[in-house]
Amino acid sequence: MTSGRATLGHLSREERARQRAAMAASTPLTPMRALGIATLASGALLAGAHAFERFGGLAPCALCLEQREVHWAALTVAGVMLFFARAGAAKVVAAGLGALCVVYLFSTGLAAYHAGVEWGFWKGPSGCAATGLGDGPSVGDLLSGLDAPGPRGPACSEAAWRLGGVSMAGYNVLASASLAAVCLLACVAFARRLYARPLAA
């Protein structure tokens, strides 16, 4: 009999066969498909953001940069999980899909917060204020500007681009929420197949 503590390199033949069957199950949303969708989507969002900055001249604000970091994290996790999926590490992939869901939920919340700042529903972080002079800076503003570690980007409250009334932060909400749903559905369906016990004859 095999131990219940079987690791990736010491699984029984039956356990390996069951995990491979779960990985290759012919369902609409397999782990490989979900990870592929996450990789392509986050990669496309990052490419679009950098293209808007480089070719469109739209400088990112502090919250924009934070949202990029979250998608870089998601892209990294998805890439690593694709490696484990090819290696047949089914339980690791199931955990990775759950982690990706959490990352995209965080991305959804951060993007929604940024969109709310743009619409004036609440104030943004103190380090994300407008850099324009407006009615004229005070002495304290000038001194704090001199102490700043480097150039600051545009105000988080000003959407640099909108399509159909929706800013890039708004579209990130929709994209991140959709990706979180994809990863959650794939994780739940995969876990059910992975841990399903065969019916007794």
**Rounded CA gap, 146 and 188, in Å?**
52
DSSP state of 127: G
Tokens coding 171: 């579209």
For residue 6, give the H/E element and its range: none
Summary mean pLDDT of the chain: 79
pTM, entire model: 0.74
pLDDT-derived band at 116, boundaries 50, 70, 90 = very high
- pLDDT for res 1: 43
Six-digit token string for 7: 């690791």
Nearest alpha-carbon partner for 157 in 131, 120, 111: 120
Residue 64 in this model has a pLDDT that exceeds 70: yes
Q: Are 94 and 194 in contact (CB under 8 A)?
A: yes
Name the band, by pLDDT with cuts 50, 70 and 90, for residue 142: very low
